[in-house]
Every structure is written in structure tokens, then in C-alpha cells.
Chain A
Amino acid sequence: MANFSIATVFIASISLLFALSNSFSLENPTDRRILVLVDDLALKSSHSIFFSSLQTRGFELDFKLSDDPKIALQRYGQYLYDGLILFSPTIERFGGSLDVAAILDFVDSGKDLIVAADASASDLIRNIAAECGVDFDEDSSAVVIDHGSYAVSGTEGDHTLIAADDFIQSDVLLGTTKIEAPVLFKGIGHSLNPANSLARNNARVLFSGSLDLFSNKYEIFCSSSNHQCKRQGAQIITCNRYAKSGNQQFVTELSKWVFHERGHLKAVNVRHHRVGETDEPAIYRINDDLEYLVEIYEWSGSSWEPYVANDVQIQFYMMSPYVLKTMSTDKKGLYRTSFKVPDVYGVFQFKVEYQRLGYTSLSLAKQIPVRPFRHNEYERFIPTAFPYYGASFSTMAAFFIFSFVYLYSK
């Protein structure tokens, strides 16, 4: 039996870089139609709290048995669904046209995916996970055990039902409301492959080593005897009692993130101009003062809200950033900054590379040439050079006088 120390590791989320996809309309990025594949339709009732939370938020769930021969993700080249939930850990072969490649294409086109496995996870599910950079434990009898933090009830003396309360600190992933009660987890361990490079297109993927994580069983389970104990060595140091586990809140908040109800950014109205002007020039001159503006909005699930952050930076870039400035915001979505064009001419880019945990990656680049001064843009007379002008003219005058004196001195 593998013995894993608990962490928040049972969620592997992959939100990766930008490549604009057509998965959702730009005006409304939240997914609408979701295909749910289950091994057994009984799951519909055993996980009903999770599903009904999705339905009340406006999602259309389409339940199908995973070996249903009519399963199809696309028809006539159009995707029928915006999201896919695989609650079918034991399936060896999907029905219909669905296979690993089809699921990966689905993710590559920017669609979202939730995969839950458990100890009986099939090779098919493991393959999907491995292609997304998540390796489930190979040993089919392995489970996650934590002797330091486990739920007392449910599994007497067997510390496989883990109560975790050490979550990733991210409001965009887990919502702003703190999850008070621990989340119960019983399943297999997995690791994220650091070389994972799939789906850099803002598709969101959630892997869980525990199908029960989403189930009603833990939501309402042991309402009076739900303990979480923490030990140090053999010594129990704290033992807290909760009326209810945090699972419902946890999976609801995560599903909000996965299905783009949160953390989806868009940047619009990128513009730049010289300070004091409003028209966008086709070219700048060295040492011009310019102003750059961009509006960034976050999708709240129903409307675009201003995105407020103090770490959005602009680069003025040619091979390397010549200017790197943090933009200030008016709290209404508008980010602006002004700076002086460096004393170097060439073809520059305005670049905004904004990558934050849980948020859509923003990657804006706009090319702009910078020219040197024209000949008539220099000052005609430079005050510093007046002595040199004076010297030149005085030698000329001296030459003139000398010629006279020399010629008439005899």
C-alpha cells in the first residue's frame, strides 16, 4: 500500500496558456451544455447534490452511460457540448466514437473537462490523465493514507478517509468564502508531471483521484460524528467536530472555476497615443512620451465585471524589454500607464503577458516602429555650442583683418 502524505494534491488543475479558442462565445464564456458520462445511472442519485448545484446554475446536463453507442462529442464538425464530466472510472472503452484522442481534441479546442477516478480506475482513464500530465498511481490496490489528518468516523482504525483542510490559497479557484469544514477524500494518489505541456489554450481540466469527493455520501455523511483529528506522532493534538463536511462547497466552487464562471479575463480596447493627443500614431519617435491603455474585464458568470489588480505590467519590447512598467487602474477595468520611448529606434512591441494562478492568461502584443529624429527636428542652434560658433567666426574675422594688415603693412 502506498502511503501518501496528504496535501491539497487531490486536485490537479490545468489551466494553461492562451490560444484564442472558439469554445465559448466571447461575450459569454460560461459553458452551457455538459455531457456527463457515468458507469452506472445510480451515480445520478448518489451524486445528486453536485449535479443539482450545476443545474440550478443553469447548466444543461446530458447523462449518458459511458458505453452508450450513441455518444458523440461533435456532429458535422461542431461540438455538441461545452464541457465533459467523466464519472466513469472503470470504463475500458467508451461507446460511440469517443476515445482518448477525441477527448484530447475536445480539450485542445478549449473545452473543459472533469475526470474523477478511484481505486478501480481503468487504463482508459489513466491514459486520459497521463496525456494531460497527471499520473495516477499504477498499483491498483494502492490508496491514499494519512495517519496525521483523517476523519475518525466511517473507517475505524483505517486512515484512508482523509480530512483535508490545507487548500491552495486562491480566491479564483475556491471562491471568496472560506471553506470551514475539512474536505473528505478517499481514493488513489496521483502526481502532476512537471513537463506537462498540454492544453495551453485556457481550457480547464480537473482531475480527482476520488469519485466519492463529489458524492452525497460525504456531503451529509455522519452529521453528528464527523471528526477530524490531527496528530503529531502518536499524540492527538487537536480533534475537531463538524456537522458537515466541506465537500459540497469545495466541489461547487471548483466546478464554477472549471466551467468558466470565474477567473475568465478578457482584454479589450487596447490603445496607445502620445501624451496629450488622442489619435493612435503609426510610428513613434525616440524620446516621445506615450500613453498606453487597455481594459481588462473578468467574467462573473453573468456579466463582465472590471478586473482589479495592481500587478498588470506592460513591456516595451524589442528582443528584450526596454521598458517594464506596472499599470495603474481606475478600478473600472481601465489600466493605463505612460512612459518615455527609449532612446533607441527599431521595431518595438507593446506586450502584456499576464499569467496568474486560476486566471485566463492574457497575452497581448502589438507591433510599433520607433524612428530617430529627423534632421529638422534637432535644435538649430545649441546654446552649449555658442563658444565654438564664436571661435569659428572669430578666426574668419581674424583672417580678414590679418589679410588687410599683412598686405598694407609694408
Chain B
Amino acid sequence: MGKSPTTKDDAQALFQSLRSAYSATPTNLKIIDLYVVFAVFTALVQVVYMAIVGSFPFNSFLSGVLSCVGTAVLAVCLRIQVNKENKEFKDLPPERAFADFVLCNLVLHLVIMNFLG
């Protein structure tokens, strides 16, 4: 009993530090994060749906989920490349990174459309 308020306080402190640290993140990275969260959430919804109705149009299921997963992966790649603090890609202009991202997305969605059924 004596312990739980301490634990709660610790958790609060942790979240607050996380939030304050995250608020320092540049806006463009926050937009990417929101986009990734949306994609992962959509993928989870579909997996739950498949568990309920069964795997019958399995190709459609794969298309739906993989489009979300692919989107999330490409967005994370973009985030790595445009992050100013990442020194690995400091020679790569963010315009070039975004162009790569758009091209990859076009290919991804072309495949998804063909596989959707």
C-alpha cells in the first residue's frame, strides 16, 4: 500500500519527461509519427477483423495489412532520413528523401491494387 503512490508518481514523472522531450521534436517528424500511428492502427484493426470473420479472401487481407505495414515502414525510413540529428544521412537532402518516399509509395500501392482482388 505504501509503495503504490510512489510507483504512480514515478510513472507520472516518466510520462512527463517523455512528453517534454517529445515536444522538442521538430513538427515534420511529429507529422510522420502521426502517419505511422495511423497505419499501424489500421493494420491492427484488420488483423482483429480477420480473427473474427475468418481468413477467406486471404489475398485481400494480405493486401490490406501489407499496405498499412508498407506505409509504416516507408514512413519510418523517411523519418530516419530527414531527421537532422541523424548524422548518417546528413549528405542526403530532405527533398531527395521525400522523392524516394513518394516513388516507393507509388510502387507499393500499385502492387497492393493488383493483389487486392
User: A-side interface residues toward B, CB under 8 Å?
Assistant: 382, 384-385, 387-392, 394-396, 398-399, 402-403, 405-407, 409-410
Whole-angstrom CA separation of A390 from B32 in the bound complex:
21
Known: A384-B57, A398-B71. A392 touches B112 (CB 8 A): yes
Whole-angstrom distance between the Cβ of A200 and the nearest chain B Cβ: 50
Give A400's nearest chain B residue, CB to CB. Answer: B105
| In contact, A394 and B42 (Cβ under 8 angstroms) | yes
Does any Cβ of A come within 8 Å of B46's Cβ?
yes
Do the beta carbons of A391 and B67 come within 8 Å of each other? yes
Q: Given A387-B64, A395-B68, is A406 in contact with B57 using a C-beta cutoff of 8 Å? A: no
A388 and B63 alpha carbons, distance in the complex (Å): 7
Q: Which of A385, A396, A402 contacts B60 (CB 8 A)?
A: A385
Q: When each residue 28-61 of chain B gets 1 if its CB lies under 8 Å from chain A and 0 otherwise, what string results?
A: 1001100100110011011001000110110011
A409 to B112, CA, bound (A): 29
Residue of B nearest to A407 (CB): B98
A398 contacts which chain B residues (CB < 8 A)?
A: 35, 38-39, 71
Task: Give Cα distance in the complex from A402 to B39, angstroms.
Answer: 12
- In the bound assembly, the distance between CA atoms of A405 and B32 in angstroms comes to 10
List B residues 90-117 near A (Cβ within 8 Å): 98, 102, 105, 109, 112-113, 116-117
Query: Bound state CA distance, A399 and B36, in angstroms?
Result: 10
- Give the shortest distance, in Å, between A385 (CB) and chain B (any CB): 4
Interface of A is mostly: helix
Q: How far is the CA of A392 from the CA of B46 in the complex (A)?
A: 11
Contact at A382–B60, with CB atoms within 8 Å?
A: yes
Cβ contacts under 8 Å, B116 to chain A: 388-389, 392
Known: A387-B49, A395-B67. A382 touches B31 (CB 8 A): no
Shortest A2–chain B CB gap in Å is 72
Complex Cα distance A399/B71, Å? 8
Closest to A391 in B: B64
Q: Is B86 an interface residue (CB 8 A)?
A: no
Known: A391-B45, A395-B39; 18 extra A-B contacts, CB below 8 A, are A382-B60, A384-B53, A385-B61, A387-B46, A387-B49, A388-B57, A388-B63, A388-B65, A389-B116, A391-B64, A391-B65, A391-B67, A395-B68, A398-B71, A399-B71, A399-B109, A402-B31, A403-B102
Q: How far is the CB of B31 from chain A (nearest CB, A)?
A: 5
- Whether the pair A409, B53 counts as a contact (CB closer than 8 A) is no
Show 30 residue pairs from A and B whose CB-CB distance is below 8 angstroms, ordered by the A residue: A382-B56, A384-B53, A384-B56, A385-B57, A385-B60, A385-B117, A387-B45, A387-B46, A388-B60, A388-B64, A389-B60, A389-B116, A391-B67, A392-B63, A392-B67, A392-B112, A395-B39, A395-B109, A398-B35, A398-B71, A402-B31, A402-B32, A402-B35, A406-B28, A406-B31, A406-B32, A409-B27, A409-B31, A410-B27, A410-B28
* Closest chain A residue, CB of each to CB of B109: A396
Cα–Cα distance between A398 and B57 once the two chains are bound (Å):
24
Question: Assuming the A-B contacts A398-B39, A398-B71, A399-B109, are A391 and B31 also in contact, with contact meaning beta carbons closer than 8 angstroms in the complex?
Answer: no
The residue on A at minimum CB distance from B54 is: A384
Q: Which 9 A-B pairs have the closest CB atoms?
A: A388-B64, A385-B60, A391-B64, A385-B57, A388-B60, A402-B35, A392-B67, A395-B67, A395-B71
Complex contact A406–B112 (CB within 8 A): no
Residues of chain A within 8 A of B39, CB atoms compared = 395, 398
Task: Collect the chain B residues with CB atoms within 8 Å of residue A396's CB.
Answer: 67, 109
| Closest B residue to A386 using CB positions | B60
Note all chain B residues with C-beta closer than 8 A to A384: 53-54, 56-57
CA distance A373 to B15 in the complex (A): 57
Measured between beta carbons, the chain A residues less than 8 angstroms from B35 are 398, 402
Residue pair B67, A382 in contact (C-beta under 8 Å)? no
A395 CA to B68 CA in the complex, in Å?
A: 6
Residues in B3-18 with C-beta less than 8 Å from chain A = none
Least CB distance from B99 to A in Å reads 11
Question: How far, in whole Å, are A399 and B113 apart by their CA atoms in the complex?
Answer: 15
Hey, which chain A residues are within 8 Å of B27, CB to CB? 409-410
Select which of A382, A391, A399, A403 is within 8 A of B46 by beta carbon: A391
Residues of B within 8 A of A405 (CB): 31
